[in-house]
Amino acid sequence: MREELQASCNTMGVSYLPEKECLQQADIILTIGGDGTILHEANLTLEYKKPILGVNLGRCGFLATCEVDEMETKLAAVARGEYSLDSRMLLYARVLGEDNWKGHALNDVVVTKGRLQQAIDFSIYCDDILVEHYRGDGVIVATPTGSTAYSLAAGGPILDSRTKGIVVTPICPHSLASPAMVFAQERKINICVGQVADDEVFLSCDGVSGYPMRAGATAEIRLSNQIVQLITFGNADQFQAIDQKLRSRR
């Protein structure tokens, strides 16, 4: 695959570089894989501010706008400037009092219990005002992009990718009255962890970089000052992708 891609790039006068050099010099970042690959590269490219073209090799590839058999055609379209940029918001997360850890998320920030931990109490604050209390396995804070991922699987709503909002969805809550909530993107969300055993609670951004949280610790999640730009073609529409890549694979 790499050799074929390099040959295609060379015929169009497009430089093919190793990853580190690519991040510094490239006009776009090409990812080949599934959504996880795009999420990984989105974090790597933040400081370089490069748009991402995702080529789908995964099962769903919801964020990808190019299939493998379209790669040569769509690379040629990019070289001609025939594409659009879809700007996506990010979340910024940190644990209060822990200066050595912070993270960004294109999809979601998750605070969840470890495998052997009992259900945990979580208090949710919006701009320092208590708005909900959950007892369950965890809490997902998702962007509109991430509303079709883990949050959706946990019963959260789908947000239009152009919506300026944040979804807070409980994971396996021990209550029939624990709905997901949607907040304006300017809001600051704090998740305070109740009593836990053996520090078996973790905070992660886009499924990676799990950071342990102690009892009483608070995760602060807010709108990042960074964005990610995804390359799209034609009249790309989120709900068309939902129909093609989610409903059709039930």
- Write out the DSSP string of the chain: -HHHHHHHHHHTT-----HHHHHHH-SSEEEEESHHHHHHHHHHTTTTT--EEEEE-SS--SS--EEGGGHHHHHHHHHTT--EEEEEEEEEEEETT-TT-EEEESSEEEEEE-TTPPPEEEEEEETTEEEEEEEESEEEEE-TGGGGTHHHHTTPPPPPTT--EEEEEEES-SSSS---EEEETT--EEEEE---STT-EEEEETTEEEEE--TT-EEEEEEEEEEEEEEE-SS--HHHHHHHHTGGG-
pLDDT of residue 126: 98
Same domain for 214 and 102?
Answer: yes
| Residues 134 and 43 grouped into a single domain | no
Query: What does the pLDDT read at residue 116?
Result: 67
**Residue 182: which CATH number?**
2.60.200.30
Statement: the pTM of the whole predicted model exceeds 0.85: yes
Residues 133, 70 share a domain: no
> Residue 120 is part of which domain span?
90-225
- 59 plus 112 within the same structural domain: no
pLDDT, tens digit, 9 for 90 and up, residues 32-70: 999 999 999 898 888 899 999 999 987 777 899 999 999
CATH number of the CATH domain containing 63: 3.40.50.10330
Alpha-carbon span 106 to 15, nearest angstrom: 28
Total structural domains within the chain: 2
Same domain, residue pair 155 and 212: yes
Same domain, 74 and 194: no
Q: Domain check: are 214 and 115 in the same one?
A: yes
pLDDT digits (tens, 9 = 90+) for 133-142: 999 999 999 9
Most confident of 10-19, 108-117, 176-185: 176-185
Share of the chain above pLDDT 90, in %: 60
Residues classed as catalytic: 35
Tell me how long the chain is. 250
The verdict on 213 and 108 lying in the same domain is yes
pLDDT band at 4 (very low <50, low <70, confident <90, very high): confident
Residues 41 and 118 in one domain: no
Residues 30 and 96 in one domain: no
Residues 146 and 77 in one domain: no
Domain shared by 41 and 106, yes or no? no
Instruction: Report pLDDT digits (tens) over 213-244.
Output: 888 999 999 999 999 999 999 876 666 666 66
